[in-house]
Amino acid sequence: MNKRIRLLYLLLFSTRLFAVSLDDVEIDIQCFLNYGYRSISLGIEKYIDSQGRIQNFGISTFAAINGKGFFCLKKHNNSFVLTRNGFFFFNEKGLLVNHDGYLVLHKDSNLEKDEYKYISRTDLFKKNRILKKTDSLAEKYKNAINSSPYLLVIPIEDLTVINGEYLSCTKFERISTEIIQGAREFNSMQFSQLYDLCCKCFDEYRGKEFTIQKERIIAKLEVVISYMFNSEPYSTEIITHELMERINFLRKKV
């Protein structure tokens, strides 16, 4: 695609659809193997509203959003980003952080006034204590939302994806959503969607300068297939054969 036409396309449709390039697809494949990451190439609506399958690991610092919303994290430069990746743990100060060391914001934070509060061990202990005292399912669901210390928001304006994992925005809306403690969320993208994106990009980017990246994408896609068989074992050779045929089909496009 002509670079000028592609730039015009991005300017016209960037508010509702992210660019589909070899770089995007490669990020999507990597995201497929990580919990909580959103798939950036399926459009802004899918990016925000998609819900992945939740698996309970029983680790108290893990958190999964069951419904809409994003966790709000403060970066080292005091700016904040949003994520669905609830892979959290406590730092040396006893505050909840993610794998990049970004602090998880407490719902009592006031971002408009740069007044930040962070989640501590005590906050999670209080939530668990409240839930243990709850008997009925209706009250348990209500208390799970009310006692959750996490700041959850929905992005509204000037959305930007950072490194395929984080989302930044200039305006947001606070929401209340159920948090499943001890669990993590699988990526919501389906393998068929991922494969279709690969085919589309391989057809669009035909030059020899893209050969190495295409081969790298195929290698990562093979890892995805291996991951699928390890997490969801298949019993028939037919499905195995079909998946490998798809890989061979992509190889012919390199």
pLDDT along the chain (254 residues), means of 10: 43 43 86 73 77 87 93 92 93 94 95 91 75 63 74 92 86 92 86 88 91 93 80 62 87 90
Helix, strand, or coil here: 109? coil
Give me 12's structure tokens: 């016209």
pLDDT of residue 64: 93
pLDDT of residue 203: 92
Give me 39's structure tokens: 């798939």
pLDDT of residue 131: 60
Measured torsion, CA atoms of residues 213, 219, 221, 225, in degrees rounded to the nearest 10:
180
pLDDT of residue 135: 65
Extract long-range pairs of 79-82: CB within 8 Å, 24+ residues apart.
79/168, 80/105, 80/111, 80/168, 81/162, 81/166, 81/167, 81/168, 82/153, 82/155, 82/166, 82/167, 82/168, 82/169, 82/172
Q: What pTM value is reported for the model?
A: 0.76
pLDDT of residue 88: 95
Main-chain phi, psi angles of 71, to 5 degrees:
-70, 150
Angstrom distance (rounded) from CA 193 to CA 211: 22
pLDDT of residue 96: 96
Nearest to 15 by CA among 169, 230, 217, 208: 169
pLDDT of residue 29: 86
Helix/strand/coil percentages in the chain, nearest 5: 40, 20, 35
Helix, strand, or coil here: 140? helix
